Structure 1
Amino acid sequence: MSLSADLFWSFRSPYSYLAIGRYRALMASHDVTINLRPVYPLAVRQPDFFERNHPNWLSYTMRDMIRVAQFHGIPFGPPRPDPIVQNVMTREIAAEQPYIYRLTRLGQAASRRGKSLAFCDEVAQLIWGGAQDWHLGDHLAGAAKRAGLDLAELDAEAQSDAETLDQEIAANQVALEIAGHWGVPTLVFEGEPFFGQDRIEMAKWRMEQKGLRPR
């Protein structure tokens, strides 16, 4: 019997990027369906989050995400541009956000088609893998095509059905909190949350207890 899990995920989270490829590989190699459910990042949900953190938080996080990428051999480069427009010095989140709403709605539109894991992985590889100007040219169109999707179709839906997509994205956040967590990446399997890119092996271990088998 095929198993199923939900992966709550954000385009702005470097740890989401560092996890998604390994979860995609797990789904490819084992009899499990992982449904990626995108949420808006803290920068959208709690704009003052970064201003309230300890001064060392940002520098430590940057150091840690780089070494995690190196440890796992995952290509990693600073996002150019960042999906969230933010003043790095003051940590202030800009009022205008030209990227994150489009990206997250595209991810939810892909989720409606059962292809959000592939789509978000392909896009994350552009954003966090070092692609310059990932938002321009045919970068996103190529990512969508590799995921078996059409970017023009997704974009049209993201614009025409933005309100409903945002309701679905909000429902994803509620589902995450009901499952017992609030951050990303979090995999929820049979009601049990596994938060962080360092819980993938533990999530797999739990699935194996429930009958997970190689394909």
Structure 2
Amino acid sequence: MTLTADLFWSFRSPYSYLAIARYRALAASHDLSINLRPVYPLAIRQPDFFDRNHPNWLSYTMRDMIRVAQFHGIPFGPPRPDPIVQDIMTREIAAEQPYIYRLTRLGQAASRRGKSLAFAHEAAQLIWGGARDWHLGDHLAGAAQRAGLDLAELDAEAVKDAQTLDNEIAANQIALEMAGHWGVPTLVFEGEPFFGQDRIEMAKWRMEQKGLRPR
């Protein structure tokens, strides 16, 4: 019996990137279907989030995400450009955001086709894996192709159906909060949330209790 789970995820979250390859590998090696449900990052949903955090939050997070990547052997480089336009010194979020809306809508369009896990992983490897100018040229087209998708088709849908896609993305956020969390990455299995890239083995353990088996 194929088990199913939802993975709530953001293109701007380094920890989402650090989790997705392992979740994709788990779905590939076990009788498991993971539906990645993209949400907008906190910088969009709560622009004052960074102002409300402890002053050490940013420096610790940057140190931690680098060592997590090193520990797991995951390629990691600063995003060039950052999916969110933000002044790192002042933490101010720019009014114009040319990347994150497109990315998240593309992810939701991929979710409509049952391929959001693959697309998000392929795109994240560009964004967080060190590719320069991932938004230019054929970078994203190649990511879409590797996920079995056509970028031109996804982009056309992201423009034409932007409001409906945003409604679906908002519904993803509501579903995440109803499951008992608010942050990403969070895997939800049978109503139980597992937050963070360090909860993958625990999520697997729980699913094994429910019958998860290798393919």
- TM-score class, shorter-chain normalisation, is over 0.9
- The structural deviation recorded for 1:51 is 1.1
Give the secondary-structure state (helix, strand or coil) at the position aligned to 2:89: coil
Separation in 1, partners of 2:47, 2:123: 24
- The structural deviation recorded for 1:185 is 0.1
Please give the root-mean-square deviation of Cα atoms over the aligned residues, in Å: 0.2
Separation in 2, partners of 1:52, 1:213: 43
- The structural deviation recorded for 1:205 is 0.1
- CA deviation vs aligned residue, 1:95-147 (integer Å, no higher than 9, x gap): 00000000000000000000000000000000000000000000000000000
Separation in 2, partners of 1:163, 1:35: 21
Structure 2: unaligned runs, 5 residues or longer:
none
- CA deviation vs aligned residue, 1:162-183 (integer Å, no higher than 9, x gap): 0000000000000000000000
Separation in 2, partners of 1:137, 1:15: 26
Structure 1: unaligned runs, 5 residues or longer:
none
- The structural deviation recorded for 1:65 is 0.1
Separation in 2, partners of 1:27, 1:168: 23
Give the secondary-structure state (helix, strand or coil) at the position aligned to 1:142: helix
Separation in 2, partners of 1:2, 1:111: 18
Separation in 1, partners of 2:108, 2:2: 23
Give the secondary-structure state (helix, strand or coil) at the position aligned to 1:188: strand
Separation in 2, partners of 1:52, 1:111: 32
Separation in 2, partners of 1:51, 1:16: 22
Separation in 2, partners of 1:144, 1:2: 25
Separation in 1, partners of 2:52, 2:113: 38
When the two structures are superposed, what TM-score results if normalisation uses the length of structure 2?
1.00
- The structural deviation recorded for 1:47 is 0.3
- CA deviation vs aligned residue, 1:29-54 (integer Å, no higher than 9, x gap): 00000000000000000000001111
Kindly report which structure 2 residues correspond to 1:74-153, keeping only aligned pairs within 5 A, or say none.
74-153=74-153
Separation in 1, partners of 2:62, 2:184: 16
Separation in 1, partners of 2:86, 2:67: 23
When the two structures are superposed, what TM-score results if normalisation uses the length of structure 1?
1.00
Give the secondary-structure state (helix, strand or coil) at the position aligned to 1:193: strand
Separation in 2, partners of 1:50, 1:14: 15
Deviating runs (4+, > 6 A) in structure 1? none
Separation in 1, partners of 2:98, 2:159: 13
- The structural deviation recorded for 1:27 is 0.2
Show the counterpart of 2:46: 46
Show the counterpart of 1:164: 164
Give the secondary-structure state (helix, strand or coil) at the position aligned to 2:213: coil
Give the secondary-structure state (helix, strand or coil) at the position aligned to 1:92: coil
Q: Percent identity?
A: 90
Give the secondary-structure state (helix, strand or coil) at the position aligned to 1:164: helix
- The structural deviation recorded for 1:92 is 0.5
Separation in 1, partners of 2:107, 2:158: 9
